[in-house]
Amino acid sequence: MSELCAVTGVGQTHHDAERSDLSMHGLVREAAVRALADAGLEWKDIDAVVVGKAPDQFEGVMMPELMMADALGAVGKPLLRVHTAGSVGGSTGLVAAKLVQGGVHKRVLVVAWEKQSEADASWVLMMKIPFAAPLVAGAGGYFAPYIRAYMERSGAPKDTGIKVAVKDRLNALKNPYAHLKMPDITEEMVADSLMLWDPIRYLETCPSSDGACALVLTAEDALGSCEKPAWVVSTAMRSEPTMFAGRDGVNPQAGIDCAAELYRKGGITDPRRDIDVAEIYVPFSWFEPMWMENLGFAEQGEGWKMTMSGATALDGDMPINASGGVLSSNPIGASGLLRFAEAALQVRGMAGEHQVDGAKLAMGHAYGGGSQYFAMWLVSSDKP
């Protein structure tokens, strides 16, 4: 038994380094109210609320959805809280989709958020933990060696990451909700920015943002007046251990398997041909070519060619992160759901200036932990 599920409402905040104009409650409501308005629904129409965010230490409140139950419109309803590291936004969307597909609920509100300015996120990420290896160098220090290994393996040109960094920031100029707005960005500017974790430069990293994203997911018989649903045609999630002997941290098996399952369920045989646009979780620019290979958009060692040829640009044959992506807005807990939401906006034809013409099938992708948690979905303008 699997019911059809569609995205009928999408909402997001204006993401920024510090939304000091809003409380945590206000932040989630800014996104949720927009999603409800888009779906033509009111709070009372919602059957259940699913919330996702990254570690609670980021805001200093343990299980904050409980103290925000009223603001989330959840009182008297089921309220679930998902936490799967960086992939959490995507996982949260999938938990909600399963509630609808499983025939449990008709209309589910999904909210994923992070208000990093409430506490000190870098302290949280670099907390000294007894008995662990003493070195701490932040998320970039963890991922940079894998990027170096990718560069060495693929022989990619050294400016591949720079190209991605510029492309995504130019895309962000077309997205009214994006955090970073850098109209003057150039390849020279990125190349000249501080080399934080060689080979990662400052402008090749994502910002730290406050923001939220909300979706309304609806069963087929509860679409109401929605004229442009985005149908969920396939979902997949996979996890693997953080570290184990023989692990490929550049091209993780969990990502390969997750994509394979996603394509199998969605009837996709050639993702680059069949999928019109994809929103991929790229927190460091080099992850674009790495994920192109991991997700089967390119052959092994050739992901960089898609970037360098312009294939991943807004007007390319496989636009990646038309919204500006994680490189332009990164409210951690929401970043995965934003990918899923942007995919839905594309197939609904509602992406505004960053709309990819004629997009009918779109992919949302999120990953987390040490490149070990993956969550993905495919949405379509056509009913499956």
Partner 1 sequence: MAEDPITGIVCPIRLDYTITPGRAQTRFLRGLESGKLLGQRCPATGKVYMPPRGSSPTHGLPTTEEVEVADRGTVTTFCVVNLQFASTVREIPYVCAQILLDGADIPFFFVVQEVDVNEIRMGMRVEAVWKDPSEWGPTLENILFFKPTGEADASRESYKEHV
Partner 2 sequence: MRDVAVVSFAQAPNLRSDRERNEVEIVMPVVREALDSVGLEQSDIGFTVSGSCDYLTGVPFSFVMALDAVGAWPPIEESHVEMDGAWALYEAWVRLQHGDIDAALIYSFGKTSLTDLDKVMSCQLDPYTLMPLWPGAISLAGLQASAMLAAGTVSEADMAAVASHSREAAQGTPEIPEAEGPADVDDLLSRPRVAHPLREHDIAPATDGAAAIVLVAGDRAAEVCDKPAWISGIDHRVDTHAPGNRDLTTCPSARMAGERADVGRSHIEVAEVYAPFSHQELLLASELGLGDGVDVNPSGGALAGHTFMVAGLARIGEAARRIHDGTATRVLGHATAGPCLQQNLVCVMEAAR
Subset of 185-204 contacting partner 1 (CB under 8 A): 194-200
Among the residue ranges 37-45, 67-75, 142-150, 320-328, the one whose residues contact partner 2 (CB under 8 A): 67-75
**Among residues 4, 14, 43, 61, the one that binds partner 2 under rule CB under 8 A:** 61
CB of 139 to partner 1, least distance (A): 11
Per DSSP, the three-state class of 87 is: coil
Q: Which of 17, 18, 20, 63 binds partner 2 (CB under 8 A)?
A: 63
| DSSP 8-state symbol, 183 | T
Does 128 contact partner 1 by CB under 8 A?
Answer: yes
Query: Applying CB under 8 A, which of residues 7, 32, 35, 95 lies at the interface with partner 2?
Result: 95
| Cα dist from 161 to 140, 148, 194, whole Å | 14, 11, 14
* Residue in this structure with the two tokens 């936004």, named with its chain if needed: 89
Backbone angles phi, psi at 172, to 5 degrees: -60, -25
Burial of 75 (0-12, 13-18, 19+ CB in 10 A): exposed
Q: How many residues bind partner 1 (CB under 8 A)?
A: 43
Rank residues 50 and 156 by Cβ distance to partner 2 and give the closer one.
Answer: 50
Q: Tell me the β-bridge partners of 335.
A: none
Are the beta carbons of 375 and 237 closer than 8 angstroms? Answer: yes
Could you say which of partner 2, partner 1, none residue 28 binds, taking C-beta under 5 to 8 angstroms by partner kind? Answer: none
Does 137 engage in binding with partner 1 (CB under 8 A)?
yes
DSSP-derived secondary structure for 308-335: HHTTTSTTSSS-B-TT-HHHH---HHHH
Q: Is 365 helix (H, G, I), strand (E, B) or coil?
A: strand
User: What is the nearest approach in angstroms of partner 1 to the Cβ of residue 148?
Assistant: 5
**Structural tokens at position 364:** 């949302």
Question: How many chain residues interact with partner 2 (CB under 8 A)?
Answer: 59
106 or 115, CB closer to partner 1?
A: 115
Q: Does 135 bind partner 1 (CB under 8 A)?
A: yes
Smallest separation (angstroms) from partner 2 to the CB of 186: 36
Q: Note whether 138 binds partner 2 by CB under 8 A.
A: no
Whether 255 and 287 have beta carbons less than 8 Å apart is answered as: no
Q: Nearest 5°: phi and psi at 378?
A: -115, 130
Sign of CA dihedral 298, 299, 301, 302: negative
User: What residue 75 binds from partner 2, partner 1, none (CB within 5 to 8 A, per partner kind)?
Assistant: partner 2
161 binds partner 1 (CB under 8 A): no
Taking CB under 8 A as the criterion, the residue among 323, 372, 380, 381 binding partner 2 is: 372
Q: What is the DSSP letter of 234?
A: E
Binding status of residue 225 toward partner 2 by CB under 8 A: no
Is 239 among the residues that bind partner 2 (CB under 8 A)? yes
Residue 138 binds which of partner 2, partner 1, none (CB < 5-8 A, kind-dependent): partner 1
What six digits make up the tokens of 13? 């905040």
Rounded CA-CA distance 295/260 in Å is 8
How remote is the C-alpha of 244 from its chain's centroid?
Answer: 26
Three-state secondary-structure class, residue 79: strand
Separation of alpha carbons 332 and 318, rounded Å: 25
Cis upstream peptide for 199 (omega within 30°): yes
What is the spatial distance between Cα 27 and Cα 282, in angstroms, rounded to a whole number? Answer: 24
Stretch that binds partner 1, among 91-99, 121-129, 274-282, 336-344 (CB under 8 A): 121-129
Residue range at the interface with partner 2 (CB under 8 A); choices 34-42, 188-196, 254-262, 350-358:
254-262
Q: Can you tell me the distance from the alpha carbon of 229 to that of 383, in angstroms, rounded to the nearest whole number?
A: 9
From the list 26, 33, 43, 57, which residue makes contact with partner 2 (rule: CB under 8 A)?
A: 57
Among 7, 74, 144, 214, binds partner 1 (CB under 8 A): 144
Judged by CB under 8 A, does residue 79 bind partner 2?
yes
Q: Which does 351 bind (CB under 5 to 8 A by kind): partner 2, partner 1, none?
A: none
Binding region for partner 1 (CB under 8 A): 20-21, 60, 122-123, 126, 128-131, 133-138, 140-142, 144-149, 152, 194-200, 241-250
Binding region for partner 2 (CB under 8 A): 1-2, 23, 54-64, 66-70, 74-85, 91, 94-95, 98-99, 101-104, 124-125, 127, 129, 236-242, 244, 253-254, 257-258, 369, 372-373
